[in-house]
Structure 1
Amino acid sequence: MHDEDAAAPAPEEVIEHESATNDDTDTKEEGTGRHGDPGTRTRGEPAPDYPLPALIADPANEHRADPPPSEAERMLADMVEQLPLGYLFFHEQSLITYPVGSLFLPLCGPIRVAAMLRDIGGNDWSYEVEFLDRDGALRRQLIPAAALQERPRAVAAGLVNSGLRLMTRPAELVRLFQNWQTPERIWTTRRTGWTELVDRTAFVLPSGDVLTHPKTSTSPVRYTGAAPSTRTAGTLAGWQNGIGQLTLGNPSLMIAISAALAAPLLRLAQVDTVGINFYASTSSGKTTAMRAALSCGQDPSRMHRWNATNTAIEILAASAHDGLLVLDEFPATPDRSIVDVIYAIGNGTGRARGTHDITLRDSDRWRLVTLSTSELPIPEHCARGRLAYPEGLAVRLIDVPVRSWAHGAFAELHGHADGHAFAVAVNAAAQENHGHLLEAFVDLVLNGEAALTVALTRILTAFRTRALRALGLEAGTVHGPAMRVLDGIGVMVAAGTLAARAGLVPWPRGAVEAAGLEIARLWHAGRMERTDGPGAAIERLREMIEEGRFVDLDDPVPAADPAAGWMDARWIYIDSAVFADEIACDAAPGRVLDQLLDAKLLVPGGEQRSLQYRMPASVIASRPRVYRFRRERVRQA
């Protein structure tokens, strides 16, 4: 007879209640239950077929120093103390029994409900059980509460498969779990990054470890998402004396590390996903910068590449929520799917997918910092694949050339012979000490969030002002996309500055801001080269038409949200704010308008000192002022 299939015990397996008649008192031993309930065990029960730790001390060893209890001994002691009323545990047989009339019938080997878990919303309850397998080893399993109701046999089978000795029907095991009064409650989250609870704030690190403020032992938080693959090595001091010192004088390394620290600040700065793509030919040091960034919070050897599937990259993005996503080696000739995945990363959301029962689940969402490498600017790679690269993507993942310094990505070699030797030193230092800086920085944020938020705002405002001046742009004339880029770099600068002030990185005052301004200048210079002339503006205008962003006055249907203006058979009418934000982008709107006027695409309304056209009341009652473009010329240009 199989243990797990036993429906009723054989006569010799029945354990009598102590009130049962039996004159041979020498053949009985007491069992233990909750509140010290006694029980008896009939001699002749087969001995357990696996070793068990002693729970009751041997009197012969009474005067010896007791070694600390093992995990298995601790589990047995807790189980005996917590057994529900009416259940007994028999030590020699190592069996939990349950009462049926005057009898105690064998139920299973040692097992206890250690905790009850539920998600932050109070749903998805689970039982965490501990048990000893047939070898006496301590095992743990998480069992969804719903599974106890829907699939009790499957639950029991899973435990038996893991080594639990089961002597009766699965329903009796389920009843034991349901009767267990478990004092411990644990919150669960499947996401890394920030989690808000009623009484505290928590942050899940890439390692799966959870930091909270205020710190409390009441109802802890546990990460139950994808198994973390990261591990730590060395110490924070080792990282500071290694990589921390090597980054001095190297803007690319300082910004890469600041980017890794910026991810936990995105929520406070109210900035969504930001990213930098470092591009240069091979052996330039760009991958070394990626490893330096990864070393802040995880193992730098575990770097992912762009050649993964879209689904795999979306899973990586979701698992890096409020963290760092690093993707190496953008494909030389990408296909359409790569544009889709950049959209997904930048928008902070994946595709909705079907579940096994053909219903849609909510798509994953994320907020993160992305670092990437390629050999050319991403728009040029896309052009090789005959792919349109929408303007909006270019500000979600900005291109920065890393052959801009004396030794490729490096400006200062700190005594090393060449860029290659320096890269080897950085990579070795990252491998020797990693996984500590991010934890220290998050702890800093958790314990001083209010004051830090004020400092963050000040740093962002100051950087934005200085960056506009450095790029030769006037405040008030630069809109949407350019400001989004500067704000993204600004969060990185703020993270590095705050870490330096706290002594977490060995950077002098002003060094991080100088690095951020240099990165901004490199991005803007490359951007101007690619967007000079009206071609880019015309391309963006065509994209907006294809997206249905204009209300067709000849066939009025709702335009895609947000609407950009109107159009009829001859003209396209664009709101001035939309033109500045989405057509001119980071270029001066006046310069782009002059170029479009010279190309005979823009047709003013005849007002002096104005390129705008006022729409007639017969068309739009409010008579808005717009920029008017020849629709056919836009199509042909």
Structure 2
Amino acid sequence: MTQNQTTVAPVLAVDDVSAVVDPFPPARDRPCWRCYNELVVRSGETMKAGVYWHAVKQNGDDRPTLTDDWLCAPLQVVALTASQEDAEHGRLLRYISVNGIWKQWAMPMQMLAGDGVDVLSVLLGEGLELDRKAKSRILDYINAQHPSERLRAASTTGWHGNVFVLPDSIFGGEDIWYQATERTAPYGVAGTLEGWQAQVAAKAVGNPMLTLGISAGFAGVLLEKLNIDGAGLHLFGDSSAGKTTILQAAISVWGGSMFRRTWRTTSNGLEGAAKMHTGTLLALDEVGEVSPKDLYESAYALVNGHGKTRANIRGEARQVSRWRVFVLSTGEVTIASRMNAGGYEAKAGQALRLLDVPITGTHGAWDDLQGFASGAAFSDALRDGSTQNYGHAGRAFVAALVDAFNEGLELSPMLEVALKRFNAADGQETRAARVFALCGLAGEIAIGAGVVPWKVGQADDAALRGFKLWKDQRGTSGRNAEDVAILRAIRDFTDKHGESRFSDIANDDSVRSVINRAGYLDKSGEAIRYLFTAGGMKEATPGYDIKRVVRALDVAGVFAKKGANGRTQVATRTANEGVKKLYHIDAEKLSEAADA
């Protein structure tokens, strides 16, 4: 008999033989498993509660002996789990720890492959008492159970339809359970929501940078419903300015200090971290600790929501990891600066995924110290509040949204209204403005739900200020960031190489020898002209298609001369090598356009 039976054992009336009932099964029902939730009293002997393997042992004289082996403390298999695609099968386990607390865990069945040591490791870590000599039997017991209840398996946190899933909580439904083979983010709760509101959220009043950070803590919940793959902000500035304190306050929306992660990892590690934080917040501290190479590879992936395609042992493509997360990052330098430190040129697309926001305030990151003697004292109080009260705000925010969605809430129109306030100049600014508007919207929803003690408009105003700070430090004056990057790359190339890589167009190599020529130099007019060869132009702008480079130069108006029919290359006679097609760049106009 393999059907799991949970039994509340009877107390035997040992003084009345006719009333004695053996709680253990008779020989005809053996072998079988039984789970007893309470102590078993049998013939006056008290036996441990838990899972037993009841068998019949044949002796040498053919007389059977009944055996009753205790395997572990009470452990029930209460439901079968699987994804909507009939994959990711598992078992929902319910068990009791040594402290007498009932717990539940959705165990992926694939963890039973091999020796199953990972299953036992989780159960032991959660406090299940077991007989180490019976480890394999415990796995057999779990595998043999087939309860009638069926639940959906959620392999990631976040939204699954109208249900929001955390590793330890389900909002909006009862037919789904979190189930994953990987480690989970340390979501947790401590203190109270009221304590968090008073000691953390209230300190954001008068402090827009803190308001923006806490609002970003809620923003990840909105991504799925708005069909946004991901978004991110990077707070940068001098050390001890308050960046990490803002990060800690944002983290307290979902958990304690263990929820914070650092950039000190590989690109593969960052992918795993993003998946663990799907639907909420990925907080990454100190960008200076990540290698420029790993940062370069991860800047797109973190916000785009999918990892690399990798092969399995048969050479077939594995299923690509996916996530949807809001990234809040900190560091003393910008994302682009950290990449450049390793010789990697940051692309405009990378800068638009993790938006650099400089830390500004009267006292470091703070504008209103709310009676504290210094910015340091204010930061200390905020950190203390974040470590004593956390995890409640995110859950309250999700619960309010579940109710609001059931009543017909539509987020997209709300985001569009918020976005209009930013007056973005072009498509790239619009993309960035949407990230800040998302934070503002999350904060305003939290205000309306009573999760944060702010006045209406505080989160929106903080988002607008963050957007302005981003625009000012970006330094593109409303222009396309890729155009600006191309112009600056060419200007830097001419500044660096000057006459060493450019021959005099009139004298060619008769006066000096030019090695690895990138073009020619024309000083015959009022303004110096750099006459780039096609190869020289490509070298000056690595990573960009030559047509994209030419378009940026043309839009900026830095061509000193064009060829027939408006062509950007001009047939030009050189002193010693005849006629060549060259790009004529006005050095003064190039410098002005790059610095504008």
What is the TM-score when the length of structure 2 is the normalising length?
A: 0.68
Helix, strand or coil at the partner of 1:269: coil
The answer to whether structure 1 residue 411 and structure 2 residue 367 are counterparts is: yes
Shift of 1:126: 3.4
CA gap 1:249/1:138 in 2 versus in 1, 3 angstroms: closer
Q: Is the 8 A contact 2:292 2:338 kept in 1?
A: no
Q: Which digits, 9 at most, give the CA deviation of each residue in 1:183-222, with x for residues without a partner?
A: 33343222111123xxxx32223xx223232x44xx4423
CA gap 1:602/1:390 in 2 versus in 1, 3 angstroms: farther
Cross-structure match for 1:9: none
Cross-structure match for 1:231: 188
Cross-structure match for 1:596: 556
Q: Partners in 2 of 1:195 and 1:144 — Cα distance?
A: 18
Identity across the alignment (%): 24
Q: Which digits, 9 at most, give the CA deviation of each residue in 1:484-518, with x for residues without a partner?
A: 11111111111111111121111112111111111
The answer to whether structure 1 residue 495 and structure 2 residue 454 are counterparts is: no
Shift of 1:388: 0.5
Residue of 238, 263, 284 corresponding to 2:241: 284
CA gap 1:493/1:389 in 2 versus in 1, 3 angstroms: same
Residue of 283, 288, 296 corresponding to 2:253: 296
Residue of 400, 405, 408 corresponding to 1:449: 405
Query: Which amino acid letter does the alignment assign opposite residue 368 of structure 2?
Result: E
The answer to whether structure 1 residue 507 and structure 2 residue 475 are counterparts is: no
Residue of 55, 60, 69 corresponding to 2:40: 55
Q: Partners in 2 of 1:363 and 1:401 — Cα distance?
A: 34
Shift of 1:296: 0.6
Residue of 306, 311, 315 corresponding to 1:349: 306
Query: Which amino acid letter does the alignment assign opposite residue 168 of structure 2?
Result: D
CA gap 1:319/1:233 in 2 versus in 1, 3 angstroms: same
CA gap 1:510/1:104 in 2 versus in 1, 3 angstroms: same
Q: Is the 8 A contact 2:163 2:171 kept in 1?
A: yes
Q: Which digits, 9 at most, give the CA deviation of each residue in 1:509-561, with x for residues without a partner?
A: 2111111111111111111258879652447999xxxxxxxxxxxxxxxxxxx
The answer to whether structure 1 residue 484 and structure 2 residue 442 are counterparts is: no
Cross-structure match for 2:154: 189
CA gap 1:202/1:102 in 2 versus in 1, 3 angstroms: farther
Task: Spell out the pairing of 1:344-493 with structure 2 (5 A cutoff).
Answer: 344-355=301-312, 359-402=316-359, 404-449=360-405, 453-454=409-410, 456-468=411-423, 473=425, 478-479=426-427, 481-493=428-440
Cross-structure match for 1:119: 82
CA gap 1:301/1:600 in 2 versus in 1, 3 angstroms: farther
Task: Spell out the pairing of 1:36-115 with structure 2 (5 A cutoff).
Answer: 38-39=26-27, 54-56=39-41, 73=49, 96-97=54-55, 106=67, 108-109=69-70, 114-115=77-78
CA gap 1:504/1:583 in 2 versus in 1, 3 angstroms: farther
Query: Which amino acid letter does the alignment assign opposite residue 367 of structure 1?
Result: R
Q: Is the 8 A contact 1:273 1:345 kept in 2?
A: yes
Q: Partners in 2 of 1:241 and 1:152 — Cα distance?
A: 50
The answer to whether structure 1 residue 321 and structure 2 residue 286 are counterparts is: no
Q: Is the 8 A contact 2:81 2:91 kept in 1?
A: no
Q: Is the 8 A contact 1:190 1:223 kept in 2?
A: yes
Q: Which runs of 5+ in 1 are unaligned?
A: 1-25, 42-50, 62-69, 77-93, 543-568, 573-578, 613-629
Helix, strand or coil at the partner of 2:255: coil
Shift of 1:411: 1.1
Q: Is the 8 A contact 1:278 1:372 kept in 2?
A: yes
Query: Which amino acid letter does the alignment assign opposite residue 401 of structure 1?
Result: P
Q: Partners in 2 of 1:241 and 1:538 — Cα distance?
A: 50
The answer to whether structure 1 residue 163 and structure 2 residue 128 are counterparts is: no
Helix, strand or coil at the partner of 1:271: coil
CA gap 1:389/1:173 in 2 versus in 1, 3 angstroms: closer
CA gap 1:605/1:118 in 2 versus in 1, 3 angstroms: farther
Q: Partners in 2 of 1:368 and 1:282 — Cα distance?
A: 26
Q: Which runs of 5+ in 2 are unaligned?
A: 1-16, 30-35, 492-533, 538-543, 569-580, 591-596
CA gap 1:401/1:228 in 2 versus in 1, 3 angstroms: closer
Cross-structure match for 1:202: 163
Shift of 1:391: 0.7
Q: Partners in 1 of 2:45 and 2:386 — Cα distance?
A: 55
Residue of 471, 485, 497 corresponding to 1:536: 485
Helix, strand or coil at the partner of 1:352: coil
Q: Partners in 1 of 2:334 and 2:196 — Cα distance?
A: 32
C-alpha RMSD over aligned residues: 4.9
Cross-structure match for 1:262: 219
Q: Is the 8 A contact 2:266 2:290 kept in 1?
A: no
Q: Which digits, 9 at most, give the CA deviation of each residue in 1:150-179, with x for residues without a partner?
A: 769999999999516769x97x995x7677
Q: Which digits, 9 at most, give the CA deviation of each residue in 1:308-328, with x for residues without a partner?
A: 222222211111111111111
Query: Which amino acid letter does the alignment assign opposite residue 200 of structure 2?
Result: I
Q: Is the 8 A contact 1:332 1:381 kept in 2?
A: no
Helix, strand or coil at the partner of 1:211: strand
> Which deviates further from its counterpart, 100-109 or 177-186?
100-109
Helix, strand or coil at the partner of 1:331: helix
What is the TM-score when the length of structure 1 is the normalising length?
A: 0.64
Q: Partners in 1 of 2:343 and 2:408 — Cα distance?
A: 46
Alignment coverage as a number of residue pairs: 487
Shift of 1:113: 5.2
CA gap 1:124/1:409 in 2 versus in 1, 3 angstroms: same
Q: Partners in 1 of 2:393 and 2:413 — Cα distance?
A: 23
Helix, strand or coil at the partner of 1:276: strand
Q: Is the 8 A contact 1:325 1:369 kept in 2?
A: yes
Shift of 1:124: 3.5
Q: Partners in 2 of 1:155 and 1:459 — Cα distance?
A: 45
